[in-house]
Amino acid sequence: MVWTLCRKVVVYTIPIFLSIALFIHFFLITLHVMPKNPISNEISPIVNTYVSPLFTQNWHLFSPNPLMRNDVVYMQLKFKDSSTPSDWFDITTPMLKANYKNYFSPMNRIVRIPLTAATTMNGMNDEELKFVSKLDKKHMTKEQSLMLEDIEKRAKESRERMKSLLYRFAFATAEKYFSDKQIDSVRVRIVHEQAVPFSKRLDKNFKKERTHEDLEWMKFEPVISW
Residues of the domain holding 196:
34-219
Residues 151-176 have pLDDT tens digits of 888 888 888 888 999 999 999 999 99
Identify whether 144 is part of a domain.
Answer: yes
Q: How far, in Å, CA of 179 to CA of 183, rounded?
A: 8
Q: Look at residues 209, 185, 188 and name the one whose alpha carbon lies nearest to residue 90.
A: 188
Identify whether 147 is part of a domain.
Answer: yes
Identify whether 193 is part of a domain.
Answer: yes
Q: Mean pLDDT, to the nearest integer, of 181-202?
A: 88
Q: How far, in Å, CA of 25 to CA of 218, rounded?
A: 34
Range from 57-71, 140-154, 172-186 that averages highest in pLDDT: 172-186
Identify whether 113 is part of a domain.
Answer: yes
Q: Into how many domains does the chain fold?
A: 1
Q: What is the pLDDT of residue 35?
A: 67
Identify whether 21 is part of a domain.
Answer: no
225 pLDDT exceeds 80?
no
Identify whether 224 is part of a domain.
Answer: no
Identify whether 158 is part of a domain.
Answer: yes
61 pLDDT exceeds 60?
no
* pTM of the predicted model as reported, rounded to 2 decimal places: 0.68
Number of Cβ within 10 Å of residue 197's Cβ equals 10
Identify whether 69 is part of a domain.
Answer: yes
Half-sphere exposure of 70 (CA within 13 A, CB side): 10
